[in-house]
């Protein structure tokens, strides 16, 4: 697997709890048996991939977002800052300017447009990034601080860290947050290929169709992996057929898999059919992105 | 009127199935609010009639009128979201990356950039099969789930409950610990945490409970699929007792939850045995705890 442009695979799902983390961790470990791979947990609100690996902590850093800080001595109370803030994060009460960090989007308008430089931007911690080494596997995760509402800046900074430090590694897997809103867009918009994990149930189908719309809006190539295959009904299969969406693999519904997951254990080594699926998924992603040249 | 919020931290623990069962048991006295607007699924079990529908606008998005653009590039310089790029010599806004801060429009020398209201989704008031009303919503694809649509759904549900003198609002919250969850939790009288006995379930439960503590709301916990990992289950039980969280009940791993879902039924319609009995008892307990 040489002579390849680095491949970025995002693993996402509309519905939570369908098996994103199961697929991400098992796929990363499977690839790591052969070559160097990066696994990045971008589900910063509830990151779980790290529960499946015990590695050596290589690097840890606090991640900050920039917010304005009022400098009373320079302020002339001209009234521009509350006017230019579209998020109501800067308000004026009498002779005081108040900043609400949780509402601030770090657009810099108030700070740049202040005529007396009375609102310098200062860093505020939003989370912590950790980088672990486990043989061939580099595992990077970020954890959003509790009470911090915005996940997107932390996701974006985590991606930048990975690009700067592991940009040359041939495969990077991004474990994305659930849903279809901003954090998912941020986590998947630069991926070469997106794998949507679903389960063959009405909830699974409904949320898959939302995730498909999201990927189409982002113009990302994508395929589906059906987890817990065997429960529910066959409507997910029918939907994928009608919509011409490739089904990359079906992971069987098996209580033993659920038990291994619940203990934080990888499962592909115990299930040869799952190992075959991982190989199929990887082969498909490589082919799809490189137009057949692996 | 009491407000009960069901959340889980981790997705896929059975939160919506359990909330729907409670809604059915509560009948006409419970107004339902589906606040998991990002991946709303309650409607698949409650069969709403979409009696009232309205667009929901939130925030803004920049738009460049090409006819007056002098291509000075100031907008690109000030944008911190990489939302403006040059395509075929034209400056264009990527609406997905644009956060609607309005900075570009303020510095545009020819005032050719305008900020349009952003359509963030749709919200509904429906009659549902429990004989009551549900307020629910659909977030637009890639929309900013900042909690505003969640707040809208909750506030509408609250108004209806007050007007019609209902006893309870039952809220299906979102996964995670960010804005939408914060929005789901505010004003609640009681929180039901639904978890599963796995490393992820426990990890996410601890994180979401940190958030619940900040709101000083009383909480109870249901351990779903409890028999999948008795060891982890014991760890969760210990965490609950150390944190003064009421251990409401354990539910077994049971594929009947999926079978009921396939039929579009809540568990208490599908099952008439042990599960229904447990859920009925727990719903009574939750009502009682929320009123205490």
- Burial call A25-59: b when 16+ CB within 10 Å, e when fewer: bbbbbbbbeeeebbbbbbbbbbbbbbbbbeeeeee
pLDDT of residue A11: 97
Under an 8 A CB cutoff, do B59 and A86 touch? yes
Query: Does residue B22 fall inside a structural domain?
Result: yes
Please indicate, yes or no, whether residues B115 and B195 belong to a single structural domain of this protein. Answer: no
pLDDT of residue A1: 47
Please indicate, yes or no, whether residues B170 and B210 belong to a single structural domain of this protein. Answer: yes
Asked if A48 reaches chain B (Cβ–Cβ under 8 Å), the answer is yes
List of domains in chain A: 7-64+125-290 (3.40.50.300), 70-119 (3.30.70.20)
| CA-to-CA separations, A150 to A44, A146, B150, B152, in angstroms, rounded | 10, 11, 15, 19
Choosing among A15, A45, A141, A142, which should be mutated to test the B contact, i.e. which has the most B CBs within 10 A?
Answer: A45
Q: Tell me the mean pLDDT in the region A188-209.
A: 96
Enumerate residues 129 to 168 of chain A having a beta carbon within 8 A of any beta carbon in chain B.
144, 146-151
How many residues are recorded in chain A?
Answer: 294
Query: Does residue B173 fall inside a structural domain?
Result: yes
Please indicate, yes or no, whether residues B231 and B94 belong to a single structural domain of this protein. Answer: no
Choosing among B48, B97, B101, which should be mutated to test the A contact, i.e. which has the most A CBs within 10 A?
Answer: B101
Instruction: Give the pairing type, strands A247-252 and A222-229.
Output: parallel
Query: Does residue B66 fall inside a structural domain?
Result: yes
CB distance A233 to B262 below 8 Å: yes
Query: Does residue B211 fall inside a structural domain?
Result: yes
Please indicate, yes or no, whether residues B105 and B156 belong to a single structural domain of this protein. Answer: no
Please indicate, yes or no, whether residues B160 and B195 belong to a single structural domain of this protein. Answer: yes
pLDDT of residue A216: 94
Give the Cα separation of A113 and A81 in Å (integer): 7
Which helix (H) or strand (E) segment holds residue A260: the answer is helix A255-262
Phi, psi for A136 (deg, rounded to 5): -75, -10
Angle (nearest 5°) at CA A287 between A285 and A288: 65
Q: How far is B292 from chain A (nearest CA, A)?
A: 27
Q: Tell me the mean pLDDT in the region B13-30.
A: 97
Please indicate, yes or no, whether residues B106 and B186 belong to a single structural domain of this protein. Answer: no
pLDDT of residue B185: 92
The residue written with tokens 């007396």 in the block is A116
Question: Chain A residue closest to B260 (CA)?
Answer: A232
| Residues 6 or more apart in contact with residue A201 via CB below 8 angstroms | A231, A232, A233, A236, B258, B261, B262
* Residue B38 with chain A: CB contacts under 8 Å: 178-181
Q: Which member of B115, B178, B199 has the closest CB to residue A51?
A: B199
Q: What is the DSSP string of A22-55?
A: HHHHHHHHHHHTTS-EEEEE--TTS--GGGG---
Choosing among A11, A13, A15, A17, which should be mutated to test the B contact, i.e. which has the most B CBs within 10 A?
Answer: A17
Averaged confidence pLDDT in chain A: 94
A210-219: per-residue pLDDT in tens? Answer: 999 999 999 9
**Residue A274 pLDDT greater than 50, yes or no:** yes
Q: Which of B67, B93, B119 is the last residue of a domain?
A: B119
Enumerate residues 69 to 128 of chain A having a beta carbon within 8 A of any beta carbon in chain B.
84, 86-87, 105-109, 112-113
Q: What confidence category does residue B180 fall into, taking pLDDT thresholds of 50, 70 and 90?
A: confident
Tokens of B25: 């048991």
CB-count burial class (<10 Å; 0-12, 13-18, 19+) for B101: buried
Q: Tell me the mean pLDDT in the region B21-26.
A: 98
pLDDT of residue B176: 87
pLDDT of residue A3: 55
Farthest-apart Cα atoms in chain A, separation = 70
CA A76 from centroid of its chain's CA atoms: 43
Please indicate, yes or no, whether residues B66 and B141 belong to a single structural domain of this protein. Answer: no
Q: Tell me the mean pLDDT in the region B227-253.
A: 97
Q: Which member of B41, B143, B146 has the closest CB to residue A203?
A: B41
Please indicate, yes or no, whether residues B180 and B246 belong to a single structural domain of this protein. Answer: yes
Within 10 angstroms of residue B33's Cβ, the number of other Cβ atoms is 30
CB distance B136 to B40 below 8 Å: yes
Under an 8 A CB cutoff, do A255 and B204 touch? no
Query: Does residue B52 fall inside a structural domain?
Result: no
A116-160: per-residue pLDDT in tens? Answer: 999 999 999 999 999 999 999 999 999 999 988 889 999 999 999
pLDDT of residue B292: 77
* Residue B228 with chain A: CB contacts under 8 Å: 255, 258-259, 262
pLDDT of residue A293: 45
According to DSSP, residue A120 is labeled: -
Query: Does residue B53 fall inside a structural domain?
Result: no
- From the list A61, A47, A285, A55, the residue with the least C-alpha distance to A187 is A47
Please indicate, yes or no, whether residues B164 and B107 belong to a single structural domain of this protein. Answer: no
| Residues 6 or more apart in contact with residue B42 via CB below 8 angstroms | B16, B19, B20, B23, B32, B34, B36, B134, B136, B172
Q: Tell me the mean pLDDT in the region B76-99.
A: 94
The domain tally of chain B equals 2
| Residues 6 or more apart in contact with residue B18 via CB below 8 angstroms | B6, B192, B194, B222, B224, B251, B267, B279
Q: Indicate which CATH number applies to the domain containing B282.
A: 3.40.50.300
Give the Cα separation of A208 and A240 in Å (integer): 10
Domain that holds residue B158: 2-47+128-291
Q: Which of B93, B119, B145 is the last residue of a domain?
A: B119
Please indicate, yes or no, whether residues B275 and B242 belong to a single structural domain of this protein. Answer: yes
Question: Chain B residue closest to A14 (CA)?
Answer: B39
Query: Does residue B78 fall inside a structural domain?
Result: yes
Q: Tell me the mean pLDDT in the region B255-277.
A: 96
**Residue B164 pLDDT greater than 60, yes or no:** yes
Q: Which of B119, B150, B172 is the last residue of a domain?
A: B119
**Residue A200 pLDDT greater than 90, yes or no:** yes
Please indicate, yes or no, whether residues B183 and B151 belong to a single structural domain of this protein. Answer: yes
Handedness of CA B23, B35, A128, B13 (dihedral sign): positive
Q: What confidence category does residue A294 fall into, taking pLDDT thresholds of 50, 70 and 90?
A: very low
CB distance B157 to B169 below 8 Å: yes
Q: What confidence category does residue B96 fall into, taking pLDDT thresholds of 50, 70 and 90?
A: confident
Query: Does residue B282 fall inside a structural domain?
Result: yes
A41-87: per-residue pLDDT in tens? Answer: 999 999 999 999 989 999 999 999 999 999 999 999 999 999 999 99
Q: What confidence category does residue B162 fall into, taking pLDDT thresholds of 50, 70 and 90?
A: very high
CB distance A50 to A167 below 8 Å: no
B195-211: per-residue pLDDT in tens? Answer: 999 999 999 999 999 99
pLDDT of residue A289: 86
pLDDT of residue A179: 85
CB distance A29 to A137 below 8 Å: yes
| Residues 6 or more apart in contact with residue A180 via CB below 8 angstroms | A14, A210, A211, A213, A214, B38, B39, B139, B141, B142
Question: Chain A residue closest to B204 (CA)?
Answer: A46
Give the Cα separation of B266 and A281 in Å (integer): 35
Give the Cα separation of B258 and B269 in Å (integer): 13
Under an 8 A CB cutoff, do B261 and A185 touch? no
Higher pLDDT, B179 or B268: B268
Averaged confidence pLDDT in chain B: 95
Q: Indicate which CATH number applies to the domain containing B88.
A: 3.30.70.20
**Residue B284 pLDDT greater than 60, yes or no:** yes
Please indicate, yes or no, whether residues B140 and B35 belong to a single structural domain of this protein. Answer: yes
Instruction: Give the pairing type, strands B84-87 and B90-93.
Output: antiparallel
pLDDT of residue B65: 94
Q: Tell me the mean pLDDT in the region B60-70.
A: 95
pLDDT of residue A292: 47
């Amino acid at each position: 697997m040489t002579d390849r442009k680095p491949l970025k695979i995002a693993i996402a799902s509309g519905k939570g709890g369908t098996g994103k983390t199961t697929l991400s961790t098992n796929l990363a470990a499977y690839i790591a048996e052969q070559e160097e791979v990066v696994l990045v947990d971008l589900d910063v609100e509830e990151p779980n991939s790290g529960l499946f690996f015990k590695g050596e902590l290589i690097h840890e850093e606090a991640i900050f977002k920039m917010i304005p800080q009022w400098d009373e001595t320079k302020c002339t109370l001209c009234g521009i800052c509350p006017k230019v803030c579209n998020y109501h994060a800067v308000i004026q009460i009498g002779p005081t300017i108040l900043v609400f960090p949780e509402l601030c989007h770090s657009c810099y308008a108030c700070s740049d447009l202040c005529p007396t430089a009375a609102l310098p931007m200062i860093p505020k911690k939003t989370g912590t990034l950790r980088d672990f080494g486990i043989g061939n596997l580099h595992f990077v995760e970020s954890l959003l601080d509790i009470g911090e509402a915005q996940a997107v800046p932390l996701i974006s900074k985590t991606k930048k860290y990975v690009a700067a430090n592991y940009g040359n590694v041939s495969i990077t897997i991004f474990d994305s947050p659930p849903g279809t809103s901003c954090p998912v867009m941020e986590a998947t918009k630069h991926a070469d290929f997106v794998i949507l994990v679903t389960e063959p149930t009405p909830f699974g189908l409904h949320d898959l169709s939302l995730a498909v719309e999201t990927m189409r809006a982002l113009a990302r190539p994508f395929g589906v992996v059906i987890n817990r295959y065997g429960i529910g009904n066959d409507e997910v299969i029918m939907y994928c057929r009608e919509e011409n969406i490739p089904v990359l693999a079906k992971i069987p519904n098996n209580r033993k898999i659920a038990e291994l997951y619940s203990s934080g254990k990888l499962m592909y080594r115990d299930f040869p059919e799952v190992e075959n699926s991982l190989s199929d998924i990887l082969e498909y992603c490589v082919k799809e992105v490189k137009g057949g040249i692996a | 009127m009491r407000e009960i919020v069901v959340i889980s931290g981790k997705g896929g623990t059975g939160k919506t199935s359990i909330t729907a069962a409670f809604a059915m048991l509560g009948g006409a006295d419970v107004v339902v609010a589906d606040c998991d607007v990002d991946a709303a699924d309650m409607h698949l079990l409650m069969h709403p009639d979409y009696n009232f529908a309205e667009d929901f606008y939130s925030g803004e998005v920049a738009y460049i009128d090409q006819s007056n653009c002098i291509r000075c590039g100031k907008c690109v310089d000030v944008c911190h979201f990489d939302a403006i790029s040059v395509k075929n010599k034209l400056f264009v806004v990527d609406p997905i990356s644009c956060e609607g801060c309005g900075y570009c429009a303020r510095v545009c020398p020819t005032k050719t950039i305008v900020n349009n209201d952003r359509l963030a989704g749709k919200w509904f008031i429906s009659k549902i099969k429990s004989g009551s009303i549900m307020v629910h919503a659909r977030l637009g694809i890639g929309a900013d789930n900042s909690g505003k649509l969640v707040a809208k759904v909750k506030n509408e549900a609250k108004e209806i409950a007050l007007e019609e003198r209902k006893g309870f609002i039952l809220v299906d919250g979102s996964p995670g610990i960010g804005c939408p969850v914060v929005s789901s939790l505010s004003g609640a009288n009681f929180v039901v945490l639904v978890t599963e006995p796995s490393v992820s379930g426990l990890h996410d439960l601890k994180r979401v409970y940190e958030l619940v503590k900040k709101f000083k709301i009383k909480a109870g916990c249901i351990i779903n699929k409890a028999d999948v990992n008795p060891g982890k289950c014991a760890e969760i039980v210990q965490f609950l007792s150390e944190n003064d969280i009421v251990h409401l009940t354990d539910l077994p791993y049971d594929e009947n939850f999926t079978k009921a879902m396939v039929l579009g039924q809540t568990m208490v319609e599908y099952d008439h045995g042990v599960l229904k009995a447990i859920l009925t008892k727990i719903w009574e307990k939750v009502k009682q705890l929320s009123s205490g």
